[in-house]
Chain A
Amino acid sequence: MLRDFSKRKQAQFGLLLVGLFLAASLIGPHVCPWQPDAVDEAHLLTPPGRSHWLGTDQLGRDILSRLVAGARISLLIGFVVVLIATAVGVLIGATAGYFGGGVDNVLMRLVDIALCFPVTFLILAVIAVLEPSTVNIILILGLTGWMGQARLVRAEVLSLKSREFVLLARSYGASHSRIILRHLVPNAAGPVIVAAIFGVAAAILAEAGLSFLGLGIQPPTPSWGNMLADARSTLGVAWWQSLFPGAAIFLILVALNALGEAARASLRHEGKNYERDPAR
């Protein structure tokens, strides 16, 4: 499956872009001439030019360096959130699927309840109640995003549960947790990974939205979201302020979506008969 994946143009494109962003976020801050919060009073709200490649905002801060700093935060949040969400989701889903019965019922009711809430409302309500900080944001986003994974894993576990290798493991006395972790979960890995890739995209978008509203990463720490918020007041006057941060979000999302699509397609081809059997 990996070979099929790596051959796809979508995957290569996605990996390339994500790689670029990662590289930028890691080495960028060391390479950029300006500090993210450095104020260049001589160049307030200037369009892209020689000294500021992507222009400056109304406080004279270099947009490029802020973008790069923002990349670091956004990518970090994206990955950690998905890590949490996947861990929680896999745990709950696997437990529900494996033990079945009452446990399954209760856990799935929980999932149903959690899924009922309009996600934005819930996140906002909780963020308002606890003050916005990076840790809080990561926790909230992670704890509101596990439901999808839980359902996926549960479905896979349910179908794998009665297969021979599970019975074999039980017969030589393997404990439940061992069976779940060593045998069932790895087999369900495929769809979980696909969902995780899309999850990173969703998390990055959510963080951007929160920051945009002022309930995410707080200024002066740059985040693509709050950079866009700054751009609201200069609408019509400084196109570079709204274009670049948004484009950054857009590009990383495109890259992640492409990766996710490629992964999903590779997964589908794994056991599939391509065309209908010709002489049925």
Chain B
Amino acid sequence: MKEILRVENLTVRLPQPDGMMTVARDVSFSLHEGEILCCVGESGCGKTTTALALTDLLPEHSRVSFDRLVFNGHVAQDATTCASWRGQGIANIFQEASAHLDPLFCVGAQVRETLITTRGLDEEAAHAEARRLLDRVGLKPAEDVERFYPHQLSGGMNQRVLVALALACAPRVLIADEPTTGLDQALRLELAGLIKGLAAEKGWAVLWITHDIDLAEVVADRAMVMYAGRIVEEGKAQDVFTSPLHPYTQALLACRLRKDAAGRLPSIYGEVPNFRALPAGCAFHPRCAQRLKECDKTIPETFPQAGGRKVRCYLRRTV
């Protein structure tokens, strides 16, 4: 499958009242057409920041640096190149759909607006196409739904509107930042199914961010795990979820709501580190039961494994 987006050593620093804070470090991955890459990790590990950085949507005064960032053959010189990719090949959908829609415009108008501005359609064509898109995402009958305002629709329906808006951009890459979080279980699967179906149909490359591992298991083709701003493991979804190689991934998977042998809910010892006070060496080592001598000295590089897998851990060091 064709590689459509390549990220090499992306580092993001965000402005804070007490100075810049590095939130994502040396993040590298690539997206391929027709493939869904899930990015999993606990809240606050840097997933969203990475996603926003790809199209320069971070807050003002943020600092983004990378070795290489290529989309559809275009090499990015700096952040402004990334900005030009918004809606022109890369589309975003977000968590909390209702908050991401302008409350003063009906949903039909918002879809039409995107069609007219980013795809250059004229009014009439936009009307028809907007209805078609709303219908495609399951909002039927479109003629009625398009006149509603976001506050009149449910969270799930608004999320479908966001998907329709993404469709309107005719993207090649879709960045989905926790699109199903906060929805009811049934809705969650429905929506996930919708997005996955559309991705397969249009051949999208999808970066799907979630902290719900169960969901990731269902939708992902490939998976990457983030911890404290770094990617610690990457590989085919099946591999990562059934035989995780990094201690953090192992612990994460063990943490899913299943009691262990003694009838207790498992948890990972320790706490997620403060970005300002990261441990020396591997960021996970204080919480790692399998740590080696060198784990608190230097940060492990990413070691390639069999089957196209990568792990950032000295335990898997390839000589």
- State the A residues within 8 Å of B (CB): 274-280
A275 touching B59, Cβ below 8 Å: yes
Chain B: how many interface residues by the 8 Å CB criterion?
Answer: 18
Apart from A278-B275, A279-B23, 7 more pairs, CB < 8 Å: A275-B14, A275-B17, A276-B59, A278-B23, A279-B44, A279-B48, A280-B44
Interface residues in B95-120 (C-beta closer than 8 Å to A): 95
Residues on A with C-beta less than 8 A from B15 are 275
Residues on A with C-beta less than 8 A from B23 are 278-279
A280 touching B48, Cβ below 8 Å: yes
A275 touching B16, Cβ below 8 Å: yes
Bits for B45-64, please: 1 = Cβ < 8 Å to A, else 0. Answer: 11111000000000100000
Asked if B77 CB lies within 8 Å of chain A CBs, one says no
B44 touching A274, Cβ below 8 Å: no
Whole-angstrom CA separation of A78 from B115 in the bound complex:
59
- State the B residues within 8 Å of A (CB): 14-17, 21, 23-24, 43-49, 59, 95, 229, 275
B46 touching A279, Cβ below 8 Å: yes
Residues on B with C-beta less than 8 A from A280 are 43-44, 48, 95
Residues on B with C-beta less than 8 A from A275 are 14-17, 59
B17 touching A277, Cβ below 8 Å: no
B17 touching A278, Cβ below 8 Å: no
B16 touching A279, Cβ below 8 Å: no
Which one of A274, A275, A277, A280 has the highest number of Cβ atoms from chain B below 10 Å of its Cβ? A280
* Shortest Cβ distance from B13 into A: residue: A278
* Shortest Cβ distance from B96 into A: residue: A280
A interface, over-half SS: loop
Whole-angstrom CA separation of A279 from B44 in the bound complex:
4
Residues on B with C-beta less than 8 A from A277 are 44
* Shortest Cβ distance from B177 into A: residue: A280
B12 to chain A, nearest CB (A): 8
* Shortest Cβ distance from B42 into A: residue: A279
A28 to chain B, nearest CB (A): 42
Residues on A with C-beta less than 8 A from B46 are 278-279
Whole-angstrom CA separation of A274 from B229 in the bound complex:
20
In-complex Cβ contact of A279 among B17, B47, B59 (8 A): B47
Whole-angstrom CA separation of A274 from B15 in the bound complex:
10
B17 touching A274, Cβ below 8 Å: yes
A128 to chain B, nearest CB (A): 48
Residues on A with C-beta less than 8 A from B47 are 279
- Interchain residue pairs A-B with the least CB separation, the first 8: A274-B17, A278-B14, A279-B44, A278-B23, A279-B46, A280-B48, A279-B49, A279-B48
Whole-angstrom CA separation of A274 from B48 in the bound complex:
18
* Shortest Cβ distance from B41 into A: residue: A279
* Shortest Cβ distance from B52 into A: residue: A280
Whole-angstrom CA separation of A277 from B21 in the bound complex:
12
A279 touching B21, Cβ below 8 Å: no
* Shortest Cβ distance from B226 into A: residue: A279
A274 touching B45, Cβ below 8 Å: no
B49 touching A274, Cβ below 8 Å: no
Residues on B with C-beta less than 8 A from A278 are 14, 16, 21, 23, 44, 46, 49, 275
